[in-house]
Amino acid sequence: MTETVRLSWKTVRDRVHARVLDGTYAPGDRLPRDEDLAEQFGCARSTVQRAMQDLSLSGIVERRRKGGTRVRRDPVTRATLDIPITRNEVESRGAVYGYQLIEQTTAPPAPAIAARLEIPGAEDMLRVRALHLSDGRPFVFEDRWVSLRTVPEIREIDLAAQSANEWLVRNKPYTRCDLRFYAINADADTAGILETDEGAALMVIERTTWIGGDPITSVKALTAPGYQILTRS
């Protein structure tokens, strides 16, 4: 009896990946063409194609038309990062979420902010400074600028009752998102808000979003000491 199992493209992907792992296909090597692999595995080329597409996406191989498929010479660690709404982040840890609006003003942003949003600047924007709490303790302090041109509706929202974070993410989907992570020492002001010591090392998450070519918002989220970002496996 011949084997009549139908190989799924994920199985093919894993078996090709295994060959990369065990050195059958070494870094820089060219892999057989999809058609030959299909014959080897006894499946259709479309199945191999789907498998290779995934391996290509995860940075294991590189594919070029006519050039074929090669094992990436310098593999990168490619990870997927999920950044949830702060409320969900707090609640999924079993803590009680709290929120506090600190300041809400309208003003032209500093040049650095305008640059981040890729706009000329000098245009009034909404600035919101707010604190997210976890079990009553400071969790994330966000300093946010929102484009009133792209998101005029936000004027009508009571940002003391609902965080701009939630309102925006639920009502203003974006097409592009830039993220930036770095560490800073807390200044006196920030330390006060986050109830920590001046100079404490804080992780900063900067997120800027656009819809089409229009800027939505740029946030600088200063996290309380001990905050960690984890990748999902």
* Binding letters toward its own copies, positions 143-162, x by CB under 8 A: --------------------
Per-residue tokens: 37: 């692999």
Give least dist CB 9 to DNA, A. 4
DSSP structure class, residue 182: E
Gyration radius from the chain CA atoms = 24
User: Which of DNA, its own copies, none is residue 170 near (CB under 5 to 8 Å by kind)?
Assistant: its own copies
Q: What are phi and psi of 112, to 5 degrees?
A: -65, -40
Residue 209 pairs in a beta bridge with 177, 217
Rule CB under 8 A: is residue 178 a binding residue for its own copies? yes
Give least dist CB 185 to its own copies, A. 4
Rule CB under 8 A: is residue 213 a binding residue for its own copies? no
Rule CB under 8 A: is residue 199 a binding residue for its own copies? yes
Q: Are 61 and 78 in contact (CB under 8 A)?
A: no
Q: Are 145 and 155 in contact (CB under 8 A)?
A: no
Q: How far is CA 183 from CA 63, 81, 111, 193, in A?
A: 37, 18, 22, 17
Give least dist CB 207 to DNA, A. 28
Give least dist CB 221 to DNA, A. 33
Rule CB under 8 A: is residue 180 a binding residue for its own copies? yes
User: Which of its own copies, DNA, none is residue 93 near (CB under 5 to 8 Å by kind)?
Assistant: none
User: Which of DNA, its own copies, none is residue 88 near (CB under 5 to 8 Å by kind)?
Assistant: its own copies
Rule CB under 8 A: is residue 2 a binding residue for its own copies? no
Specify the residue, 39 or 198, whose C-beta has the smaller distance to its own copies.
198
Give least dist CB 1 to DNA, A. 17
Rule CB under 8 A: is residue 226 a binding residue for its own copies? yes
Q: Are 104 and 144 in contact (CB under 8 A)?
A: no
The C-alpha atoms of residue 209 and residue 61 are separated, in whole angstroms, by 30
Rule CB under 8 A: is residue 74 a binding residue for its own copies? yes
Q: Are β-strands 137-147 and 125-134 bridged in parallel, bridged antiparallel, or unpaired?
A: antiparallel
